[in-house]
Structure 1
Amino acid sequence: MRKNRTPLTPDITPLIDIVFILLIFFIVSSVFKKEELALNLELPNASAKELEVEIKQLTVELSTNSLAYLGQKVSFENFDKQLSNSIEHGKPVIVRIDKDVQYERVVKVLDILQKYSFHNLSLVTKSE
């Protein structure tokens, strides 16, 4: 005597749940991304959390007419040379920029840092 067995079918309910959760995630994240592009670029004073300065971090200071690296004034050419000879490419860099500095000078410093693979940057602001 043989029993009639119904073929087993996998339960796809958990799969459908996961698909809907992923769909909701991508819809929500795409909405946030659109809002970021609509931000006004007129930046106020920052009220960010304080950053603890460690000895292991490198510091760059930029004013309207001078540049300092590790607490010593340097020219852009010397700054470039010092970074090219540096073995500290993975260390965090603290960048302090005066509010009156021209954007071109800021870009020049950031380009030099990117040239030598310094990607862990922190821009320091004044708290309110």
Structure 2
Amino acid sequence: MIGRPEAAQSGWRALTPDITPLLDIIFIVLVFLMLTANIPLQSLEVELPNTDSEALSSVQNDKLMTINLLAGEPAWALQGQEYGDWNSFKAVLTDNLEALKQAELVLASDKEVTVDSMLRLLAFLQEHEIQATQILMEEGH
């Protein structure tokens, strides 16, 4: 029988091409496509005022309710009453929904508060159609 001498020794493997480089290229292209795919990001729209800082700093006291976001424990406060976890604070907010809707709402946050805490609060307010009239921010130095 006519054949290649190395084919007789290694069997059918000598007749099949080596596809390892092809698999490497396919894997690299697949990873590239997965990393560059358009993944829809969830976003929360926040409308920031277009006024100067003096108007942002003024607070009127009639029908005013303040929500504080604190760094560390306790993490939340409503009208000075502090709450350690989100579930208990959310229950208090739910109990005071009508008062929150009618009052001028001020959000005051410590600058070390995580974004997660702020987004939880803003998502709750948006879900219940409560608009924060003022967000107090510490002036940069």
TM over 0.5: yes
**RMSD of aligned alpha carbons:** 1.9
Q: Which residue of 1 aligns with 2:53?
A: 48
> Distance between the aligned counterparts of 2:124 and 2:132, measured in 1?
13
1:9-88 paired onto structure 2 within 5 Å: 48-49=53-54, 50-65=57-72, 66-74=75-83, 75-86=85-96, 87-88=98-99
The amino acid of 2:76's aligned partner reads L
Taking the aligned partners of 2:114 and 2:129, their CA distance within structure 1 comes to 23
Which residue number in structure 2 is paired with residue 126 of structure 1? Answer: 138
TM-score normalized with structure 1 length: 0.56
> For 2:118 and 2:64, how far apart are their aligned partners in 1?
19
TM-score by length of 2: 0.51
Larger of the two Rg values belongs to structure: 2
Q: Percent identity?
A: 17
8 Å Cα contact 2:107-2:136 kept in structure 1? yes
Cα deviation code 1:87-108 (max 9, x no counterpart): 2213221111111111111101
In structure 2, the gaps of 5 or more residues are: 1-51
Higher relative contact order (CA 8 A, sep 6+): 1
Cα offset, 1:63, TM superposition: 1.7
CA separation of 1:95 and 1:62: change in aligned 2, threshold 3 A: same
Q: Number of matched residues?
A: 82
SS in 1 for 2:60: coil
**How far did residue 72 of structure 1 move?**
0.6
Any unmatched runs of 5+ in structure 1? 1-46
Extract structure 1 runs of 4+ deviating beyond 3 A: none
